[in-house]
Structure 1
Amino acid sequence: MVFTQAELEYLGTQRLGRLATVSADGVVQNNPVGFFVDAGTIVIGGHALGASKKFRNVQRGSTVALVVDDLASVDPWVVRGIEVRGTAVALSDVEPPVPYFSREVIRITPTRIISWGIDGPRSSRVV
């Protein structure tokens, strides 16, 4: 299993993350994105995703990092989240994860997962 059960449960409660990609000339881009977990991978979707810089960056071979985090409490201050680093592919003409998204998606295959505040102490592992 790529994600722990606690990580899957956490990701299932979240709808937005921030996806970082790198352009061919080395410029980092970081944008909020909608995501879904599918068979151990992360699927990024959106409106007109195929026209976006992040989609083009992935088409050109960018590695990616997706961060999903939130505040479980502000008193006491309790943060939790997960970072998924990995390889990605930009796919066209696929069934969108939800009806109002475009037919382009980015599929992330994790190579490293870092989580905190989800299930015990900070965890970092190569998958």
Structure 2
Amino acid sequence: MVFTQAELDYLAGQRLGRLATVSPVGQVQNNPVGFFVDATSGTITIGGHALGASKKFRNVQQGSTVSFVVDDLASVDPWVVRGIEIRGSAVALTDHEPPVPYFSREIITITPSKIISWGLDGARSSRKV
């Protein structure tokens, strides 16, 4: 398993994350996206409406590595932050059956190479996969 059970449980309760990509000329692009976790393969699927027309999709098609972050505030009093950052390689796929009905047929799959999580089980975790 790539993700810990605490990470899988956290991701299952979230709907949005932020995907950062880099263009071939070095311009960083970061936007909120919908996602789906495949616990069996250890991958993340990014999707949305007309994803294939987006800058992030073109960046991945042109070889961008990615960073994907999901985080939230569990409490503001006391201040409790929790989240996960997934760094890795990504592939832009066209004409692919989406994992949920509202995603377009273009998706991005992320294979983690490093996972950093915080506040999920009281400890911070950083590991290469």
Q: TM-score range by the shorter chain?
A: over 0.9
Identity %: 83
Corresponding residue for residue 10 of structure 2? 10
- CA–CA distance in 1 between the matches of 2:114 and 2:68? 11
Deviation at 1:90, TM superposition (A): 0.1
CA distance in 2, matches of 1:64, 1:100: 23
> Alignment partner of 2:69: what SS?
strand
TM-score by length of 1: 0.98
Long gaps (5+) in structure 2? none
- After TM superposition, the structure 1 = structure 2 runs for residues 35-114 of structure 1, keeping only pairs within 5 Å, are 35-38=35-38, 39-114=41-116
Q: CA offsets per residue over residues 59-117 of structure 1, 9 Å max, x none? A: 00000000000000000000000000000000011111211211000000000000000
Give 1:33's aligned amino acid: V
**Whole-angstrom CA distance in 1 between matches of 2:74 and 2:122:** 14
What SS does the aligned partner of 1:47 have? Answer: coil
* Aligned mate of 1:120, from 116, 119, 122: 122
Give TM-score, length-normalised by structure 2.
0.97
Opposite residue 34 of structure 1, the aligned amino acid is: G
The RMSD of aligned alpha carbons is 0.6
